[in-house]
């Protein structure tokens, strides 16, 4: 029976979850339980693809990401949870790749873990509805709890899973321009940076309190598809998140000179009446929310600062899916 099923192979694809309001910090009492509520959009066109099969009898997990073998302990808590749910102790061979830079603040862990959670669940014959996968993907990486869903999601503070807020076609004109300021891997993982912020930043508690207070306005601005209103709230969220990081001991600084140039450009564009609202995550990349009608202009302006870069342009995208 086992030999038969070891021939079986499942491929799942997921897209990264870009937080508009940020998850930064964990609560005690569970794995990756968020201290702050987050709201996010899943980015279409950017993809993590995971191909999984059972490992040969008696061998453990083998995980290869973009051609590089990964330490299995990163994946063990999530894979063990799946094994336990299915009462199946076999190992997995997992091959995952991204069509965008890995570990550079583009939330590749969100799509990567979402795709692996989905593919392994299907291989094991477990349910693969996003609602059921969200709390499992979360064990791999918090933001993956959101990436199993398409469109817009909410992940409340302390919640074991994310929930859908709006479907993928809710805001068809919305675009996210991703400026890859630096494609190198980040100096400190979001996980380690989050923990260092919680442990050592005198601003951490203020950040957590403030993030909770931003939520209602964020949900409302998104519901009314008001980019200016949402942009102001997004900016509070990411700036205050970085404020808490800067105050950590040692300070955590993901920004590069190019990041700041992109931020200043957005400010200048807004001064000219163009809705261009940036956000950043645990890396130097800048993601600019704008409307479809302004994308060309935003790209032209970016070209002057970053002549050698071709920014990616994403629209809200679908959740986890399977390749037959
Ligand atoms: C800045 O989900 O990568 O992108 O749960 O430790 O795996 P772990 O962290 P991760 O952190 C994401 C942080 C963020 C903000 C966000 O996506 O909400």
19 lines ligand 1 (CB under 6 A): yes
Q: What is the mean pLDDT of the chain?
A: 94
Q: What is the pLDDT of residues 24-75, one digit of tens each?
A: 999 999 999 999 999 999 999 999 999 999 999 989 999 999 899 999 899 9
Question: How many whole angstroms from 104 Cα to the centroid of ligand 1?
Answer: 12
Rounded-to-integer distance, Cα 138 and Cα 201, Å: 25
Q: Which of 70, 159, 190, 245 best tests ligand 1's pocket when mutated (most atoms within 8 Å of CB)?
A: 190
User: Cβ(38) to ligand 1 under 6 A?
Assistant: yes
Tens of pLDDT, residue by residue over 179-214, are 988 877 667 999 999 999 999 999 999 999 999 999
Cβ–Cβ under 8 Å, residues 227 and 273: no
User: What would the pLDDT profile of 153-178 be if each residue is shown by its tens digit?
Assistant: 999 999 999 999 999 999 999 999 99
Cβ–ligand 1 distance for 282 under 6 Å, the answer yes
Residue 103 has pLDDT above 60, yes or no: no
CA 8 from centroid of its chain's CA atoms: 29
Residue to probe by mutation, ligand 1, list 143, 153, 161, 259, most atoms within 8 Å of CB: 143
Domain boundaries, the chain: 9-167+319-323, 174-314
Q: Per the structure block, which two tokens stand in for 177?
A: 């321009």
Question: Is the distance from CB of 25 to CB of 198 less than 8 angstroms?
Answer: yes
Reply yes or no on whether the pLDDT at 3 is more than 60: no
| pLDDT of residue 289 exceeding 90 | yes
Reported as a pLDDT band with limits 50, 70 and 90, residue 4 is: very low
107 lines ligand 1 (CB under 6 A): yes
Distance 56 CA to ligand 1 centre (A): 33
Asked if the model's pLDDT at residue 1 lies above 50, the reply is no
pLDDT tens per residue, range 206-225: 999 999 999 999 999 999 99
**Nearby residues of 171 by Cβ (< 8 Å), 6 or more positions away:** 152, 225, 316
Q: DSSP E strands: which ranges in the chain?
A: 9-14, 17-21, 26-27, 33-34, 38-42, 48-54, 62-65, 68-69, 92-98, 152-155, 163-166, 174-179, 277-279, 286-291, 312-314, 321-323
- Phi and psi at residue 47, in whole multiples of 5°? -140, 140
- Compute the average pLDDT of residues 238-261: 96
Distance in angstroms (rounded) separating the CA atoms of residues 67 and 221: 41
- Would you say the CB of residue 259 lies under 6 angstroms from ligand 1? no
φ, ψ of residue 41 in degrees (nearest 5): -120, 140
Number of helices (H), then strands (E), in the chain: 10, 16
234 C-beta neighbours (distance < 10 Å), count: 25
- For 9-167+319-323, CATH number out of 3.10.180.10, 3.30.230.10, 3.40.140.10, 3.40.50.2000 equals 3.30.230.10
- Note the CATH number of domain 174-314: 3.30.70.890
Give the pLDDT band of residue 16 (cuts 50, 70, 90): very high
Taking the model in full, what pTM does it have?
0.96
In this structure, are residues 92 and 55 in contact, taking their beta carbons and an 8 Å threshold? yes
Assigned token pair, 235: 């900016």
pLDDT band at 100 (very low <50, low <70, confident <90, very high): confident
């Amino acid at each position: 029976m086992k030999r038969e099923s070891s021939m079986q192979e499942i491929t799942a694809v997921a897209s990264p979850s870009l937080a508009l309001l940020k998850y930064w910090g964990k609560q005690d009492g569970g794995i990756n339980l968020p201290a702050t509520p987050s709201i996010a959009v899943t980015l279409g066109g950017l993809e993590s693809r995971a191909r999984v099969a059972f490992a040969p009898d008696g061998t453990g997990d083998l995980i290869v990401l973009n051609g590089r073998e990964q330490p299995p302990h990163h994946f063990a808590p999530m894979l063990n949870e799946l094994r336990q749910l299915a009462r199946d102790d076999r190992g997995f061979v997992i091959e995952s790749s991204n069509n965008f830079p890995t570990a550079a603040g583009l939330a590749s862990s969100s799509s990567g873990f979402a795709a692996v959670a989905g593919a392994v669940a299907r291989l094991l014959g477990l349910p693969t509805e996003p609602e059921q996968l969200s709390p499992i993907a979360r064990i791999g990486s918090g933001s993956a709890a959101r990436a199993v869903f398409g469109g817009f999601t909410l992940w409340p503070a302390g919640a074991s899973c994310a929930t859908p807020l709006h479907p993928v076609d809710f805001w068809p004109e919305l675009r996210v321009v991703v400026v890859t300021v630096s494609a190198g891997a980040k100096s400190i993982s979001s996980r380690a940076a989050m923990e260092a912020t919680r442990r050592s930043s005198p601003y951490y508690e203020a950040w957590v309190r403030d993030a909770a207070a931003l939520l209602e306005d964020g949900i409302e601005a998104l519901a009314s598809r008001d980019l200016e209103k949402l942009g102001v709230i997004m900016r509070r969220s990411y700036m205050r998140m970085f404020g808490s990081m800067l105050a950590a001991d040692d300070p955590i600084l993901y920004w590069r000179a190019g990041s700041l140039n992109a931020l200043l450009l957005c400010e200048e564009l807004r001064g000219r009446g163009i809705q261009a609202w940036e956000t950043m995550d645990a890396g130097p990349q800048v993601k600019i929310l704008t409307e479809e009608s302004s994308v060309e202009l935003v790209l032209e302006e970016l070209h002057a600062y970053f002549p050698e870069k071709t920014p990616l342009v994403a629209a809200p995208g679908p959740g986890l899916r399977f390749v037959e």
